[in-house]
């Protein structure tokens, strides 16, 4: 394929003149980003070859963090466990990031990360080079290293076991303090925080192998949905339900996530790893206070948490002292909910309709045939499609419509004696629930907004469940190869 390309230049009198077009002999390939088409082809098996791009993506990432000075700033405050710095701290951090980007958690796999990743291409020949052997065509890696202790050619800039020792010797508490204090300061300097200031507090269980040597881990009973089962709840479960429960060894990750109003990104602004049976409520509120102490007021403006973090004193504190608006679910046995229900049943209470956000429709399935088919196969396929259409028509149900709610806002509630700040409660019930049997509510300290605003904001908390699933499943977050707590925290 050849393209005629003409180009223009400006003359002295202000008019442009067209130069003679030149014939460009090389072919031009134009790429278009179309994720829907790619997923459709992938679901139908219409692909010849798949390759995960590692080197280019990692090279661009490390070029960015190096050019912006992120690595250098992180290295200044890292709790280095050695008196000497034989290997630069910035390289240790870069190597740790490279292993996470590769999905490789075992330190003995670091040579593979160097060989196939973008570390060497990002930091130049001073770190190392990739060469092709002219005799056999194999890839050879040559690294200078940071000292002269090696007697053999280096395949990596530093020994993989050195990375493991540094990670193991870095105290877990010091590492979490570094991330929750110094790293978030770098995030702010780089303008990573959105102006809306929306943060989500959450607690999630991290399951580890059933080995008692995993430091800080405990065994707890979980149901089929991986929800903990208390002793009181065990008394209410049937035999069939109890059979589905199982004992699992776990830790608990308490996180503070930052996002925007559309949920387009998630940035971890705080992490704590604790035993699974430790209550998350006081830990999260201390993380919020620590965040404000480090970055000051105004960065965090809205905090969204679930019912597990109900604490009237702390909610009032972050509202009055830090100016942070809190959105939180309410439990059915709370007095403030009973008071709101009593006020909502008064005739002057106005209820409005609210349509819950609809889920995305499934990707349409369409079969693609890459070549001509024999006549008898076409007839057989047509008959099969007719049969499928009849079966689908017989079992097809009416597509579910977006859930419709009736909502009202009860303002200036002071029934919660431990909370010094007045609260607004948004009551929600289904449109057909005239008996009010399944009424639920959301508390908010913000009073200058529409009744549906807390619902829309609280919906962001639901999105983090998918985020945690990505971390645990696709990043192998719980695939710990060592029971040492410092290495577990390093991997998280």
Same-domain check for residues 308 and 196: yes
**Is 381 a member of any domain?**
no
Same-domain check for residues 321 and 343: no
- Nearest 5°: the CA angle 31, 37, 40 is 145
3-state secondary structure of 206: strand
Same-domain check for residues 197 and 100: no
Tell me which residue has tokens 């693609």. 368
**pLDDT tens digits for 198-227?**
999 988 888 888 888 888 889 999 988 888
Residues in the chain: 492
Contacts of 412 (CB under 8 A, 6+ apart): 422, 424, 447
**Is 217 a member of any domain?**
yes
Burial class (CB in 10 A: 0-12, 13-18, 19+), 400: exposed
**pLDDT tens digits for 306-323?**
888 888 889 989 999 999
Same-domain check for residues 415 and 468: no
Residue 218 belongs to a domain with what CATH number? Answer: 3.30.420
CA distance 97 to 99: 5
pLDDT score at 5: 31
**Is 388 a member of any domain?**
no
pLDDT score at 12: 41
- Tell me how crowded residue 370 is: count the other CB atoms within 10 A of its CB: 5
Contacts of 260 (CB under 8 A, 6+ apart): 194, 196, 198
**Is 393 a member of any domain?**
no
Contacts of 362 (CB under 8 A, 6+ apart): none
Same-domain check for residues 322 and 468: yes
**Is 374 a member of any domain?**
no
**What are the structure tokens assigned to 307, written together?**
């019912």
- Tell me how crowded residue 250 is: count the other CB atoms within 10 A of its CB: 24
Same-domain check for residues 319 and 197: yes
Q: Report which DSSP code applies to 94.
A: H
Domain boundary among 172, 195, 219: 172
Same-domain check for residues 198 and 316: yes
3-state secondary structure of 388: helix
Count of domains in the chain?
4
Domain span holding position 11: 3-43
**Is 266 a member of any domain?**
yes
* Regions of the chain short of the pLDDT cut 70: 1-27, 48-54, 357-371, 395-402, 433, 435, 466-480
Nearest to 202 by CA among 132, 140, 283: 283
Same-domain check for residues 208 and 268: yes
Domain boundary among 172, 205, 240: 172
12 to each of 19, 280, 480, how far by Cα in Å? Answer: 15, 73, 70
Same-domain check for residues 469 and 444: no
**pLDDT tens digits for 355-367?**
776 655 554 555 5
**Is 244 a member of any domain?**
yes
Q: The dihedral of CA 386, 388, 391, 393: what is its sign?
A: negative
**Is 371 a member of any domain?**
no
**pLDDT tens digits for 112-128?**
888 888 888 888 888 88
Contacts of 314 (CB under 8 A, 6+ apart): 281, 285
Phi-psi domain of 400 (left: phi exceeds 0; alpha: psi -120 through 50; beta: other): beta
Same-domain check for residues 323 and 471: yes
Is the distance from CB of 208 to CB of 484 less than 8 angstroms? no
Contacts of 440 (CB under 8 A, 6+ apart): 329, 330, 332, 427, 428, 429
- DSSP-assigned letters across all residues of 137-183: --EEEEE--SSS--SS-BSSSS-HHHHHHHHHHS-HHHHHHIIIIII
Q: Looking at 348-449, which runs of residues are DSSP E strands?
A: 352-355, 404-413, 423-430, 440-444
Nearest to 82 by CA among 171, 190, 1: 171
Same-domain check for residues 144 and 194: no
Same-domain check for residues 304 and 422: no
Terminal C-alpha separation, the chain: 50
């Amino acid at each position: 394929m050849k393209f005629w390309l003409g180009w223009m230049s400006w003359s002295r009198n202000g008019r442009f003149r067209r130069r003679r077009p030149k014939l460009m002999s090389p072919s031009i390939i134009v790429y278009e980003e179309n994720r829907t088409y790619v997923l459709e082809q992938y679901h139908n098996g219409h692909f010849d070859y798949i390759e995960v791009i590692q080197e280019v993506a990692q090279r661009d990432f490390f070029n960015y963090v190096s050019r912006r000075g992120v690595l250098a700033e992180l290295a200044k405050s890292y709790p280095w466990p050695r008196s000497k710095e034989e290997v630069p701290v910035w390289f240790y951090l870069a190597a740790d990031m490279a292993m996470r980007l590769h999905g490789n958690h075992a330190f003995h796999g670091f040579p593979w990360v160097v060989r196939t990743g973008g570390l060497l291409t990002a930091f130049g020949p001073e770190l190392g080079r990739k060469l092709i052997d002219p005799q056999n065509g194999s890839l050879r890696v040559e690294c200078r290293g940071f000292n002269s202790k090696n007697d053999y050619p280096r395949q990596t800039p530093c020994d993989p076991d050195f990375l493991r020792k540094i990670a193991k010797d870095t105290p877990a508490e010091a590492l979490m303090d570094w991330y929750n204090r110094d790293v978030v300061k770098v995030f702010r300097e780089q303008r990573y925080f959105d102006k809306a200031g929306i943060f989500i507090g959450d607690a999630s269980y991290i399951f580890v192998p059933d080995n008692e040597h995993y430091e800080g881990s405990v065994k707890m009973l979980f149901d089929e949905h991986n929800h903990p089962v208390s002793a009181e709840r065990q008394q209410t479960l049937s035999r069939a339900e109890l059979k589905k429960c199982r004992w699992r060894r776990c830790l608990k990750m308490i996180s503070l996530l930052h996002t925007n109003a559309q949920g387009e990104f998630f940035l971890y602004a705080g992490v704590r790893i604790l035993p699974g049976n430790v209550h998350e409520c006081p830990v999260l509120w201390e993380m919020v206070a620590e965040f404000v102490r480090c970055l000051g007021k105004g960065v965090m403006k809205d905090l969204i948490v679930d019912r597990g973090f109900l604490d009237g004193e702390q909610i009032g504190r972050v509202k009055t002292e830090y100016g942070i608006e809190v959105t939180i679910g309410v439990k059915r046995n709370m007095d403030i909910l009973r008071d709101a229900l009593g006020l909502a049943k008064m005739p002057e209470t106005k209820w409005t309709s609210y349509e819950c956000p609809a889920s995305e429709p499934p990707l349409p399935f369409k079969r693609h045939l890459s070549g001509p088919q024999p006549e008898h196969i076409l007839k057989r396929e047509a008959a099969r499609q007719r049969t499928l259409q009849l079966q689908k028509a017989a079992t097809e149900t009416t597509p579910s419509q977006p859930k419709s709610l009736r909502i009202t806002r009860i303002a200036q509630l002071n029934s919660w004696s431990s909370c010094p700040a007045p609260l607004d409660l948004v009551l929600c019930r289904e449109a057909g629930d005239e008996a009010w049997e399944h009424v639920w509510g959301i508390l908010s300290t913000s009073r200058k907004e529409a009744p549906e605003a807390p619902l829309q904001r609280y919906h962001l908390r639901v999105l983090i469940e998918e985020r945690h699933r990505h971390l645990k499943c696709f990043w192998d977050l719980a695939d710990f190869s060592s029971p040492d707590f410092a290495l577990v925290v390093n991997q998280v």
